A and B are shown apart, each in its own frame.
Chain A
């Protein structure tokens, strides 16, 4: 059974703290993604990675960075958390074969509250 796991389901941090969100997939997928989900705004892509140590900015990368040192693990970093980063964060992974995008598998999400 395919699996994407995220380090925490709920997280509360203070403004200015450095926050690490971790995601692990066990499907040997090339691609990994970080989204944030806010009511009425859908899923918005923060960053994605198509290979180890490779990363690309998504639609809303400001205030975030990422790290992918191993194929199965993709970390999202908030260098200095702010209240407007309070949100649900979803990690996903997918395979790419013959240039085609395959379905994305999502983790359960981390609800981050910054106070």
Chain B
């Protein structure tokens, strides 16, 4: 079952902040975040492992709460280059090799 991402779409002005949420109905071992720019392949941003780990990538950071089976992606002081569709991919662990991706959140940053 696909994780649920919210919001589905968001429009920001440069410099504004945004939060994208990813919620799963299953227990998770890790959560991956990817960004896909228009006409391009998805690109890996970060992995969050079990243990409430927070990670950062430039001004993009994320958290993972395995008890709530949720992860959030934080985009701070957004730049035009942040525009794209963000996907979370959930990993149930237990020897699984695959990720289940959400439907994506389309982020548009305008001047």
Known: A104-B44, A106-B43. A40 touches B103 (CB 8 A): yes
Known: A42-B2, A42-B87, A103-B47. A90 touches B100 (CB 8 A): no
Q: Which of B60-102 contact A (CB under 8 A)?
A: 87, 89, 91, 95-102
Chain B neighbourhood of A94, CB < 8 A = 97
Interchain nearest-CB distance for A42 vs B (Å):
4
Interchain nearest-CB distance for B107 vs A (Å):
15
Interchain nearest-CB distance for B95 vs A (Å):
7
A31 within 8 A of B: yes
Whether B41 and A108, one on each chain, are in contact in the complex, defined by CB atoms closer than 8 angstroms, is: yes
- The residue that B30 contacts in the complex, of A90, A96, A101, A109, with Cβ under 8 A, is A101
Assembled-state Cα–Cα distance A96/B91 (Å): 13
Chain B neighbourhood of A90, CB < 8 A = 41-42
Whether A42 and B97, one on each chain, are in contact in the complex, defined by CB atoms closer than 8 angstroms, is: no
Assembled-state Cα–Cα distance A107/B36 (Å): 12
Chain A neighbourhood of B44, CB < 8 A = 103-105
Which of A10-18, A43-51, A70-78 is the contact stretch?
A43-51
Whether A48 and B41, one on each chain, are in contact in the complex, defined by CB atoms closer than 8 angstroms, is: no
Interchain nearest-CB distance for B53 vs A (Å):
13
Chain B neighbourhood of A45, CB < 8 A = 98-101
Whether B101 and A58, one on each chain, are in contact in the complex, defined by CB atoms closer than 8 angstroms, is: no
Chain A neighbourhood of B98, CB < 8 A = 33, 45, 48, 56, 58
> Which residues in B have some Cβ–Cβ distance to A below 8 Å?
2, 30, 32, 34, 40-44, 47, 49, 87, 89, 91, 95-104
> Which residues in A have some Cβ–Cβ distance to B below 8 Å?
4, 31, 33, 35, 40-45, 48, 50, 56, 58-59, 90, 94, 96, 99-109
Task: Provide 12 A-B residue pairs closer than 8 Å at the C-beta atoms, listed in order of the A residue.
Answer: A33-B98, A43-B87, A45-B101, A50-B97, A90-B42, A100-B49, A101-B32, A103-B32, A103-B47, A104-B89, A105-B44, A106-B41
Apart from A42-B2, A48-B97, what 11 extra A-B contacts exist at CB < 8 Å? Answer: A31-B97, A40-B103, A42-B87, A42-B102, A43-B42, A43-B101, A45-B101, A94-B97, A99-B95, A102-B47, A103-B32
